[in-house]
Amino acid sequence: MYYMSLPRCSLKDVDEEDFSSDFISKLKRRKRFAVEDSYLCGKFDFLLWKLCKIHYILYYILYKYSFFLFFGSYWTFKNLTYIISRYTNRLPKGNVNNTIRRAFKVWEEKSPLRFRQISKRPANIDIAFLQQNHGDGEPFDGQGGILAHAFFPRYGGDVHFDDDEYWTPEPNSGVDLYAVAAHEIGHSLGLKHSKNRNALMAPFYQTYSNSGIHLHNDDIQALQYLYGTEEAAEFNISSDDPDYSWPNVEVSVNMDDKSNSDSDQFEKVNICNNPVLDTITVIGNGSTYAFQGKWYWRLNQLSYDKGYPRKISEDWDGLADDLDAAVGDNKGNTYFFKDDLYWLYNADGKRIPGYPKRISVGLVDLPDNLDAAMIWSYDQQPYFFKGKFYWKYSRWGMHNIWPRLITAISPNLPDRIDAAFQWTNGENYIFAGPYYYRISGWRSMKVIFLHGLGDTGFGWSPLFQKQFQFPHIKFICPHAPIMPVSLNSGMRMHSWFDIVGIGMDATEDEDGIKHSAKQIQNLIEEEMRIGIPSHRIILGGFSQGGALALYSSLTFNKRLAGIMSLSCWLPLHRQFSPENVSINKITPILQCHGEDDQLVSQAVGRATAEMLKELCSSHKIIFYPGMAHTYCSQELDDMKEFITFHLPPS
């Protein structure tokens, strides 16, 4: 598969005339070469193919001995917002909006991703029509040539179109905005160029039928590798389902915006004067609704929309007044609760046949007469509130650790609430009387994990989110600064310190190592200041990040819960002795290394293990047959076991 891996080629595959020194130097200076993340005008031609081939081979040469796999990143959540911050004057805004929306739909068809256009920042993806040098280091070249470029999620995911082009919403004349946008959005989602000339992600734009653009199988495999399939499970509010997520998001609501009849005007209530809510929720099309008595409001960023409040009975077919609670599922449906009944409505607010049903029949172990419900952002699981208690629901029944007191979330919360929800910004809010509270997941323990050279924290955080489900533990994945790296010909990239060479006798960047170690130690101390003891923190990392984790731990004067060092080495090892190692000489260390690691060799791993055994009293080394400079499922299982043992729930 070409979208995630480097090609398997060697220097014998390349003719010498393809590599003039001037050409190579230009490409080194311009890593984001046009065929990588920009879209060029015209159909397939041999010159473009030749440039692509040279580009891929050059990347192989430049990164063969680096510490990381060079690949696109991806978004860690499925509901994304976008804004068109600057329009072209060549098309009406409505045409641009519709065309961009169609382009996003191409990617929604085969994935669980959902996109919603908003009118004000912040948005996940910023789309703009710009000209020439526009401030991102990737200037456009006027009409023809480069049409657009996009940035991977780790760099913000923004999409820029060359405003010098003659953009049209269809392919008949000018430059087809629909086709170019669909391709660039692929980059914004983390896909690289495909070598399959029929794929949407090929580095030249394709023709398409009257039915519109559809993803090629190569595009689908890449997309679903990153985000999973478009199939969503039925509503199972289960704590055993790690993929439970907030509902799908569309752009607009289909409900009629006509105002209420004049005869109802005197009955309307002002939510600002009487802000005690029955429930509040975000439905599947991204609209936020607040309910009170027989009225409801559609909310916006600042207040509520014109024409509201409206009567629930006018727009919500069969839904009762005076609701108790509401919560969404991962198909965009919304569940409403009142007394011993619940109703189910789809993403557009239309009632699904067969409802209401009795809670005792359809949702086993869920009590009647709820006070509130919400999806908690920290684990994307459903939580329910009644009286002074709350609990996480499972279709297998409540676990013996539930229910808990609401005040266990925070002593500042009242012991009974009226409403709760997760808003589109990912934050959770609890309402009690005229007051509301913004909350986050309580996590009394932390794992700080440092990425390898050239990566960012985004490279590891999705893995921890999906596979390391610890309700009491928060994973922190900081980003290294960007700096020139000697090992990679002075290229600027995310790096904790400079690396000159690999090996126990290689020259080391002592000042850089000590500076970054101090930053990590400051991060630990900041966690301590907000109430997390150091002995409830595990510090770990991969490759260069693992090396920094080792050095930072062994020079830190507060005891940690554990240290995880993956595929790494001990920096400045000559400066350590059993006498000068910090209190963390007694801290458990898990060291993991691949037997086929060609970057940080097995020999380096074994030498590091011998040093740690001499310096520390609790060290375990595991070598994994066949594993290169990466991770494997068994290693992840060993990490989980280590974390579970040393950070048990209190």
Q: How, if at all, do strands 79-86 and 125-130 pair?
A: parallel
Tokens at 573, concatenated: 């090892």
Q: Is 201 annotated as a binding residue?
A: yes
Q: Is 222 annotated as a binding residue?
A: no
Cα distance between residue 182 and residue 188, in whole Å: 10
Cα distance between residue 464 and residue 441, in whole Å: 16
Q: Is 373 annotated as a binding residue?
A: yes
Given the residues 36, 184, 508, 635, the one annotated as active site: 184
Q: Is 535 annotated as a binding residue?
A: no
Tokens at 596, concatenated: 């086929």
Tokens at 66, concatenated: 């680096």
Q: Is 214 annotated as a binding residue?
A: no
Q: How, if at all, do strands 125-130 and 146-150 pair?
A: unpaired
Q: Is 61 left (phi over 0), alpha (psi -120 to 50) or beta?
A: alpha
CB 158 within 8 A of CB 189: no
Q: What's CA 271's distance to the chain center, in Å?
A: 35
Cα distance between residue 113 and residue 102, in whole Å: 14
Nearest to 247 by CA among 284, 281, 280: 284
Dihedral sign computed on CA atoms, order 91, 92, 98, 101:
positive
Q: Is 278 annotated as a binding residue?
A: yes
- Which residues are bridge partners to 381 per DSSP? 376
Residue type, 166: Y
Q: Is 163 annotated as a binding residue?
A: yes
- Helices marked H in 158-275 — which ranges? 177-188, 217-227
Q: Is 432 annotated as a binding residue?
A: no
Q: Is 415 annotated as a binding residue?
A: no
Coil, strand, or helix at residue 551? helix
The residues, any chain, with a CB within 8 Å of residue 531's CB and separated by 6 or more, are none
Residue type, 545: G
Q: Is 183 annotated as a binding residue?
A: yes
Q: Is 187 annotated as a binding residue?
A: yes
Cα distance between residue 518 and residue 357, in whole Å: 58
Residue pointed to by tokens 């309580």: 442
Q: Is 619 annotated as a binding residue?
A: no
The residues, any chain, with a CB within 8 Å of residue 278's CB and separated by 6 or more, are 291, 292, 293, 322, 323, 324, 418, 419
Cα distance between residue 645 and residue 586, in whole Å: 16
Burial 129-148 (b: 16+ CB within 10 A, else e): bbeeebeeebebeeeeebbb
Q: Is 158 annotated as a binding residue?
A: yes
Cα distance between residue 551 and residue 541, in whole Å: 11
427 belongs to the catalytic site: no
Cα distance between residue 523 and residue 448, in whole Å: 9
Q: Is 307 left (phi over 0), alpha (psi -120 to 50) or beta?
A: left
Q: Is 156 annotated as a binding residue?
A: yes
- Residue 604: φ, ψ to 5°: -65, -40
Q: Is 141 annotated as a binding residue?
A: yes
Which residue ranges are tagged as binding site?
134, 136, 141-142, 149, 156, 158, 160, 162-163, 165, 183, 187, 193, 201, 278, 280, 324, 326, 373, 418
Which residue ranges are tagged as binding site for Ca(2+)?
141-142, 156, 158, 162-163, 165, 278, 280, 324, 326, 373, 418
Residues forming the active site:
184
Which residue ranges are tagged as binding site for Zn(2+)?
134, 136, 149, 160, 183, 187, 193, 201
